Amino acid sequence: MPDRLFGTDGIRGVANEDLTPELALRLGRAAGHILGGHGERVVIGRDTRRSGRMLESALAAGLCSVGVEVRLVGHIPTPGLAHIARTGDHKAGAVISASHNPAPDNGIKFFDHRGLKLPDATEDAIEAAMTHEAGLPRPTEGGIGLVGDARGLVKEYEDRLSQLAPPLAGVKVVLDCANGATYRVAPAVFLAAGATVRVLFDRPDGLNINATCGSNHPDRMREAVVAEGADIGFAFDGDGDRVVIADHTGALHDGDTVLAIAARHFARAGTLRPSLVVGTVMSNGGVEATLRRDGIELIRTQVGDRYVWEELERRDAQLGGEPSGHVIFRGYSTTGDGILTALELLHLVQAEGESLSQLAAEIERWPQITRNVRATRRREWKDGRFGELVRSAEDELSGAGRLVVRPSGTEPVLRITVEAREPHVAQRVADRLAAAAAETLA
């Protein structure tokens, strides 16, 4: 594990190798103490990974050992856990998931009672408490926390989504649940709204989460949309906080498309106040140009939906998100929610009276090439020969494109994204840098 346990999205690692039950136990004790200790209540949810129960048990044991009451909700999308944390009498919530990562990985992240990810200062305090774990309280008898079954709380999240769903009678939808946490909730919500639903990858076995399916691999979903004559398709990731969409032609659309459609709709209605959306350094330049023509500003943050949320709050703005499919509708949720994003997009399509394909055609897109290079020394990318090549590429693209190099915070991967008005330029620069990274940073 890295020197600092908490990354941009909680603690991640290979389950039982990096992220061990011993670590989860210590984390539970430290977090329980920092979050208030005896008598406080924490709700825990998880995705469908085989290691989830193991880590859940260890985390719950650690929390109980410092007097915290624990409620287990079982399988639930991450945004569902955040919703429960902020609507119930809980001090905090914890979700055990590695999102879109492969099955061997897992992670633990906390939400506070407002449904927000913990601030850095609180995470630092938890890490500090872990280093002095022996000095934390050890109550006995009636002071020990209890573990309770709270799986019924998932229905509260499902009901919340159903309240926000548009009427979908006559709409044919394909859902790819990634064999992950949306496999029950998503079909139930769309069926309750009246849609005709074709569900893919809703048979989790603990090992098949995100395996050639979901938002990272949406081809099966898009093929099903075309083959079955569906109106639209949605591919969620393993923990349900992001979504990739296919229109009726099979064309794929990302979070940038959703943001642009929503922002333009609300701006025309006079309800986008202030007139801006929050994206990240990965947001497409063509989308930015489209929004600018409509008088809408795109504010960029570093990658990570927590940074998008912080900027939304700072500017009191409504919409933010990432191309990966994390989209935040601040009036409804504190984090990216794939199912909610899908429902809101259907609202917008109905309100505009046009198909998703027609709405997306109005949004300019600049060619963008991303290379994910396995690189164990990814955090050293600014140094040496590779750093020199990056600076040279930035000079080459000056005025005609953008280059973003970003070490993943959750995988040993260096992400290289090149954007240019001319596709062949983006391709050439991305290929050159990917080959150099593989050679020098492996």
Give yes or no: 97 in active site.
no
From the CB of residue 127, how many other CB atoms can be counted at a distance below 10 Å?
A: 18
Cβ–Cβ < 8 Å for 181, 75: yes
CA 36 to chain centre: 28
Round the CA-based radius of gyration of the chain to a whole number and report it: 22
Two tokens at 327?
Answer: 């989209």
Which residue, among 294, 277, 285, 177, has the nearest Cα to 237 in the 3D structure? 177
Q: State how far the Cα of 441 lies from the Cα of 404, in Å rounded to an integer.
A: 17
DSSP notation for 377-406: TGGGTTSHHHHHHHHHHHHHHTTTEEEEEE
d(CA 348, CA 350): 5
Length reported for the chain: 442
Instruction: Please list the alpha-helical segments (H only) found in 66-152.
Output: 78-87, 120-131
Q: What are 178's strand-pairing partners?
A: none
In degrees and rounded to multiples of 5, residue 293 shows phi and psi of: -65, -25
Q: Largest Cα–Cα distance of the chain, in whole Å?
A: 69
Residues whose CB is less than 8 angstroms from the CB of residue 31 and which lie 6 or more positions away in sequence, other chains included: 42, 62, 63, 92, 94, 110, 126, 129
Residues 321 and 277: their CA atoms lie apart, in Å, by: 8
**Bridge partners, 321 (sequence order):** 327
Out of 65, 99, 215, 333, pick the active-site residue: 99
User: How far apart, in whole angstroms, are the C-alpha atoms of residue 438 and residue 442?
Assistant: 5
Active-site positions read 99
